[in-house]
Amino acid sequence: MVMENNVERTETAPSSPTWDSQLTEGLAWLNDRAWPLAAGTLFTSALYLHNYIIEEKVPLSLTSPTIITALPILFAVQVFIIALLVALLLLPTAILFTPTHLDGPKLIEELGLENLKDKNRQPARRRLLGRWLLALSLMAVTWLTLAELFKDSDSTIAALFTLLLPITLFAVVAIKGLWRFWRFSPDFILMALGAGLAQILLLMILGTAVMSFLASTEQQDTWGYPLGLLVILVFGLLQFISLVLIATIQNQRNPIAWITLRGFALVVLIGLFPPASAKLAGYTLQTSASGARHCAVLLWQAPPPGLKAITLDDRRSRDVKILLETEGRYVVRQHTGDPGTNYFVPSDLVNGIAACVPEPESPAQLSPSHPPETKSPAPNGAGDHERTGSVRG
């Protein structure tokens, strides 16, 4: 009788869902909520476009049929970019999912993130978080110190030392310490060094963003290092929170629904921060309109009327920044000049778009068939800072 009961329990025990059943269930969940998701997509895209209009002072009608048609594509590109940024954020944490030995445990298994209420694992989580933040801070301080020491050096060895020492320091401190680190398998050690490389690349990106922000406020010398350290600590916390979310996904019966709701919330949250959402929308619109050219030159057969400020000669424009293309016209702005004036160029008058030609460093670098051009008086509406150039087609 006992054996029969055991057999019945074995037969009726729920089995873990397979990936194909989870995919089918997730797609059915999306189909049942198509209208709310579509409405949210249009609202979020319109929010991003609104922020782009406000930040860049671009005259753009949100009720334009062309813009309304492009909203879903704009949303898809924004989600793709955000997903890439999240993947870049999580890239260094791949070391925690790598076995320490051939058949050894993974570091993530020691944390028990799938059950945050387990108090027995809390000390291990605190230790990992502390080591991770300490490794990030030491890496940043070491990298900045070495970069300052060797800033005037042209030695390749110095450059490699400036790069490799912070990477090794992060790998050793973030995992277990030097006395245990070298006991791991060679594959795990290489993965740890790769995580350090990804981390320092992310720190370079963050450092560039922080310095660009402080340069606009003229507080770079005062708040550069404190703000940079704060950003690094917040960055490390975000990586740890992302680990918790990844561990939570593994226990979800419908992971597609879980990811969709959290991902949608993240996209909306970024949309509530106008500078970030305007950058994302601007990247999408400017890249598609200009062919991924930050600085462009419009080519035409005859100069469009009323656009002397951006006209260099009868065949081309001055260096411009293409903000978007809509309703059969390009909305452009002088690349160097009045940042608040937009110009509308009919697209049917433009027969080509070229990249801006940098000014030659010396006359010897010019080709004999392209002698240097003399400067001509700037047309009305163009500042003294405008230059002339040639477009070699």
Do 135 and 264 reside in the same domain of the chain?
yes
- On the question of pLDDT at 381 being above 50, the answer is no
Range of the domain at 382: 293-358+374-393
Residue 255 placed within a domain: yes
Do 382 and 272 reside in the same domain of the chain?
no
Do 188 and 125 reside in the same domain of the chain?
yes
pTM of the model: 0.70
Identify the pLDDT of residue 48: 92
Q: What is the pLDDT of residues 268-295, one digit of tens each?
A: 998 898 888 888 888 888 888 888 888 8
Name the E strands within 160-308: 296-300
Q: What is the pLDDT of residues 4-22, one digit of tens each?
A: 444 444 444 445 667 777 7
Residue 79 placed within a domain: no
Do 318 and 263 reside in the same domain of the chain?
no
Average confidence score pLDDT of the chain: 75
Instruction: Please identify, among 282, 306, 338, the residue that sits at the C-terminal boundary of a domain.
Output: 282
Do 111 and 251 reside in the same domain of the chain?
yes
C-alpha dist (Å) from residue 72 to 43, 78, 173, 230, 314: 10, 10, 45, 36, 39
322 in Cβ contact with 340 (< 8 Å) = no
Residue 387 placed within a domain: yes
341 in Cβ contact with 333 (< 8 Å) = yes
Other CB atoms within a 10 A radius of the CB of residue 37 amount to 14
Query: Considering only CA atoms, which of 161, 116, 160, 166 is closest in space to residue 138?
Result: 166
